[in-house]
């Protein structure tokens, strides 16, 4: 039972970071970014490489993963999405992000092959060693406190950045009405570039926690992607606060439902069906999602033009 709770919480923490990042891409360039899962895998391989080469636990390399994942995402914005931002339709942007997913995923595969020969370690289906913490008379995996602390710190910093700084004001202005913000002297390009950096950085950070729970390979990003979309959709597309809420809702219900299925003898392999169904049902029944319930108030950013 405790295992179940730990699993659900860690999974939800990861989803929260992923979902906020995906939301940032959605509200800035209106890209349903299918390459978002790959940013997480970039984080995994950065932390893995560094911890093999330089020693130390992968936790120590979170800042490096954060920076590198952000950089990859920033490049994706500057080279691909910025030039296309006002020029093409939403579906084409999505198709382009799928193409980017192919480029990143298979580049990571090539990297995994090279890394295997270079460092003589398994580069597919590997896991990270975790430490254990004693709490309330039982031993918990370290990834639980570590991911919770990192998620809380990052989300709090993001909140402060968006609501308490001048850059944050500019970011919110550029998101809500790029044309007006530009007219008032905000460099939309720079502000969006920052958003994209954060988007990839948050995903890459989430990625570092992944191999503490499951075995990963470059394709794992894809299996994280649809749950992330489910979290964003259920939370309400375009709302950062909604995304966080959606992440915990999806994370917990997926884990608990999979457990319930196993109890009645149905394979847990059907687990992804819940998230897929959540996407479809939310979009068809109440497309505004959870944040639609408090729309306009609180931590909700939406493009209004």
Stretch that binds another protein, among 63-71, 108-116, 164-172, 205-213 (CB under 8 A): 108-116
Structure-block tokens of residue 148: 């919770």
Find the shortest distance in angstroms from Cβ 238 to another protein: 11
| Cβ–Cβ under 8 Å, residues 26 and 237 | yes
Please, which of residues 7-66 interact with another protein by CB under 8 A? 30, 32
Among 4, 53, 54, 90, binds another protein (CB under 8 A): 90
Query: Could you say whether residue 89 binds another protein (CB under 8 A)?
Result: yes
Sole binder of another protein in the list 91, 136, 183, 264 (CB under 8 A): 91
Quick check: 204 and 39 in contact, CB under 8 A? yes
The residue within the footprint of another protein, chosen from 3, 4, 113, 214 (CB under 8 A), is 113
Contact residue for another protein among 209, 212, 229, 299 (CB under 8 A)? 229
Q: Which of residues 283-302 bind another protein (CB under 8 A)?
A: 283-284, 287
The binding site for another protein (CB under 8 A) comprises 30, 32, 80, 83-84, 88-96, 98-103, 105-107, 109-110, 113-114, 117, 226, 229, 233, 237, 267, 269-270, 272-273, 276-277, 279-280, 283-284, 287
């Amino acid at each position: 039972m405790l295992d179940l709770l730990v699993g659900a919480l860690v999974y939800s923490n990861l989803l929260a970071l992923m979902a906020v990042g995906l939301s940032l891409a959605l509200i800035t360039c209106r890209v349903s970014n299918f390459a978002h899962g790959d940013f997480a895998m970039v984080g995994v391989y950065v932390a893995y490489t560094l911890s093999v080469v330089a020693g130390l636990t992968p936790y120590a390399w979170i800042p490096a993963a954060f920076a590198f994942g952000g950089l990859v995402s920033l490049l994706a914005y500057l080279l691909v999405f910025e030039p296309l931002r006002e020029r093409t339709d939403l579906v084409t942007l999505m198709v382009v992000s799928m193409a980017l997913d192919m480029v990143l995923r298979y580049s990571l595969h090539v990297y995994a092959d090279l890394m295997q020969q270079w460092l003589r370690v398994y580069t597919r289906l590997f896991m990270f060693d975790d430490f254990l913490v004693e709490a309330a008379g039982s031993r918990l995996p370290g990834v639980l406190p570590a991911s919770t602390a990192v998620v809380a710190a990052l989300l709090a910093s993001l909140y402060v950045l968006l609501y308490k700084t001048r850059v944050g004001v500019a970011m919110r202005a550029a998101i809500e009405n790029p044309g007006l913000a530009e007219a008032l002297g905000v460099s939309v390009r720079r502000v969006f570039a920052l958003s994209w950096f954060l988007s990839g950085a948050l995903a890459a950070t989430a990625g570092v926690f992944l191999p503490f729970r499951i075995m990963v390979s470059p394709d794992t990003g894809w299996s994280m992607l649809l749950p992330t979309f489910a979290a964003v959709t259920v939370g309400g597309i375009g709302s950062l606060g909604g995304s966080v809420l959606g992440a915990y809702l999806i994370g917990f219900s997926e884990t608990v439902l999979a457990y319930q299925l196993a109890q009645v003898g149905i394979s847990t392999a059907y687990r992804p069906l819940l998230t897929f169904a959540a996407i479809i049902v939310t979009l068809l029944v109440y497309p505004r999602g959870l944040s639609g319930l408090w729309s306009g108030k609180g931590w909700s950013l939406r493009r209004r033009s």
